[in-house]
Each structure stands twice: as C-alpha cells, then as structure tokens.
Structure 1
Amino acid sequence: MSTVADYELKAKELISSNKFFQLIANWCPDCQYTNSILTKFDVLQRFKTLDIGDLPKDEQETWRVAFKNVTGSRNLPTIFIDGRIWATETEIHNCEDGNVLPAKFKEAGLL
C-alpha cells in the first residue's frame, strides 16, 4: 500500500518531468472549464494530465494532500509550467476576462 510520501514522490516526478502538466478531476466543473479553454486554443494535447476523478475517494484525497505538501496547492485544476504553479481556474478566468490569454499562452511557450 502506498503512503502519502510515495504520492509526494510521484507528484514531484510528474511536475518536474513534464514542461506542461495539470492536476484535474473529470467531475470538477472548474477543470472542465479549464480544459475547454485549453482545447479552444489547441494546446490541451501539450499537457501531461493527471485526472484523479475516477479514482476511489480516499486515493483522490491522498493525491490532493500530496500535491498540497509538495506545491502548497491542492486546487483542482492546477496547471504547472516548467515545474511551477502557473494557474488555477481563477487565473484562467481573469486572463480570459482581460483578453490576455493568447499573450499568456505565448509567453508560456504554448503558442
């Protein structure tokens, strides 16, 4: 049986080994919104995605605790670029509302 420490190691590996990474759950409306934006800009395929939505509830929680311990965030979704938190749905909404998403995506190397 895996421990939280095992999940923390896996979380670190996922973040560090993928330039573009996101933590999501398929049942999460904010994740669905964020994926729709990434799809709209044709960049979703550039992301390695860990979708915890179909895992047992206790395993979902263990993943979220592990990400909180490693990054300080357990938010769904959380987008990481170059090993750092780049955005959650709040930042995506703000960038969309401010009409700056294309510039932000270009700056991040997505466009």
Structure 2
Amino acid sequence: MSAFVTKAEEMIKSHPYFQLSASWCPDCVYANSIWNKLNVQDKVFVFDIGSLPRNEQEKWRIAFQKVVGNRNLPTIVVNGKFWGTESQLHRFEAKGTLEEELTKIGLLP
C-alpha cells in the first residue's frame, strides 16, 4: 500500500466530512460555495491538492480511488464513505432538497 493511500485513509478517518478538492477546479469552487452559503465550511475538511505538482495530484487521486472508489474533483466523503460530487449537490439544489439531505447526514442541524 502506498504512503498516499495510507494518508488518504487517515484523513478520511479523522474527518467525518471530507472533500478532496483543487483550487483550480470550478466544480470544487461550487462545492465550497455551498459549504460557505450554509455556514458549514468549518465542518467540512477540504484537502486541496491544487497547488501540488501534477504528478503528486495524480497520486492523491489514485489513492482516493482506491480508498473510496472515486477520484473526481470534488470527492465528498461522509463518515468514511463516498457520498458524492458536485453533481449530487447540484441535483439536491435543483430539487430544493439540499438542506434536507445535508441534515440527513448530520452536516446541518
């Protein structure tokens, strides 16, 4: 097991709400805007790989693929399991159920 996989597992275990992200990724910026809008940005640990060298970004994405089954940006993990990407947030927002869904996972009271 690579050191990246081990570190990915540790980060996910340490943070009930986790997001693999990159500063250059428009979908990540959208997800972060949701956390800010709902005032839960302090509850979601965002691991931003955007400033790392490209080869290291790829190693992290491969590690998260192995750990949670997804390498997309953003990858949102709740209680150690893959929850979704920005697509999930968009779907819930379009249906008007975003706050309800985030309450179900404990992110909102």
TM range (shorter): over 0.9
Equivalent residue pairs, number = 108
Query: What is residue 83 of structure 1 aligned with on the other side?
Result: 80
Q: TM-score, normalised by structure 1?
A: 0.93
The residue identity in structure 1 corresponding to 2:77 is F
RMSD (Å), alpha carbons: 1.0
2:96 matched to 1:102?
A: no
2:20 matched to 1:5?
A: no
CA distance in 1, matches of 2:64, 2:17: 16
* Runs of 5+ unmatched residues, structure 1: none
**1:42-81 maps to which residues of 2 (within 5 A)?**
42-81=39-78
* Runs of 5+ unmatched residues, structure 2: none
Contact 2:69 2:82 in 1 (8 A): no
Q: TM-score, normalised by structure 2?
A: 0.95
Query: What is residue 38 of structure 1 aligned with on the other side?
Result: 35
CA distance in 2, matches of 1:43, 1:52: 21
